[in-house]
Amino acid sequence: MMYKKQRESLIRSKKYLYISIFLFIVSMVLTFPFPNNSYADMTMSIFNIPIKIAGSINQVGVVSVVLLLFCMVCMVRALNSHQFIAVIIVIIAFSFIPRFVINLYQESFASGIYAISYDEKQTKCEFTRDEIDDAFLQGKCEVYFINHSNEQLTFEVTFHEVLYGADDYLMESLMNINGVHTISLAPKESRTFIIEETIDTTSIHNAIYSGTSYGVKVKIHANGNERVL
C-alpha cells in the first residue's frame, strides 16, 4: 500500500505522461535508421538525430529534435520528482531502442537484404598510384557484413559517397567505375570482404591521388530492392 502511494505521488499528470510517450515514439519513427541508415550522410546531429545531411538542413531531423524536446518538457511536467533522471533516461532510450528493435527484427523476421547489417567501424578503403603508370589507381576496400537470416544471401554492393562541393575529390565511389561487386553470405555468417580494383583515372579530373578513408558507406541491391548502409 505504501509503495502504491509513492508510485502515485511520482506522477503529477498522466495526460502529460501520455503526451510525452507519444512524442517520443513519433520523434523516433521519423528518423528510424532502417531499412536505410539515416546517419549515412550525417554531418551534424543533436541527440544523435541527423539535422544536417550532406551539408544541407534535414527538415525531418529538425522536426524530430523539436518533438523530442517537447517530449522532455512534457515528461518534466508529468512528474513530481526525479525529472532530471527521467530526461536522461529519455535521451539514453532514444539512442538504444532503435538498435535493439532493428537487431530483434533482423534476427527474428527479416529476409533478403533486410537481414543484412553492416559495421562501418570495421571498414576502410586505401588508394595508391600504380608504380608503372600513375594514371592508374589501385583501390582496396575492406567491408564487413553480417547475415542475420537462416538462408544464404547474395547481393550487389556499390560504394556510396557524397561530395559537398565542386572541388571535392572522389574516393570510395571510384570503386564503382568498373561495375558493381557481388557478395554472398552463408546463413548467420559475418565476414570481412576485400574488394580490389584497378581504376583508370585518365578522364577523371577530381580523382584522389592517394589516401585512406574509414567508415565507408555502401549501398546494397538485390531483387529490385536497395538499402543505404
DSSP letters of 70-92?
HHHHHHHHHBSS-HHHHHHHHHH
Per-residue pLDDT at 50: 87
CATH 2.60.40 assigned to 114-228:
yes
Q: Where are the domains of the chain?
A: 2-109, 114-228
Full-model pTM: 0.84
What confidence tier does 8 reach under pLDDT thresholds 50, 70, 90? low
What confidence tier does 4 reach under pLDDT thresholds 50, 70, 90? low
Question: What cell was used for 201?
Answer: 583515372
Question: Which residue would you say has higher pLDDT here, 6 or 94?
Answer: 94
Per-residue pLDDT at 162: 80
For 116-138, the pLDDT digits (tens) are 999 989 999 999 998 888 889 99
Buried b (16+ CB within 10 A) or exposed e, 164-180: eeeeeebbbebbbbeee
For 25-62, the pLDDT digits (tens) are 999 999 998 988 877 777 788 888 888 877 788 899 99
Counting residues of the chain whose pLDDT is more than 90, the rounded percentage is: 70
Taking the C-alpha atoms of residue 34 and residue 69, their distance in angstroms, rounded to an integer, is 23
For 138-191, the pLDDT digits (tens) are 999 999 999 999 999 999 999 998 877 667 888 999 999 999 999 999 999 999
Q: Which of 202, 201, 183, 203 is nearest to 193 (CA)?
A: 183
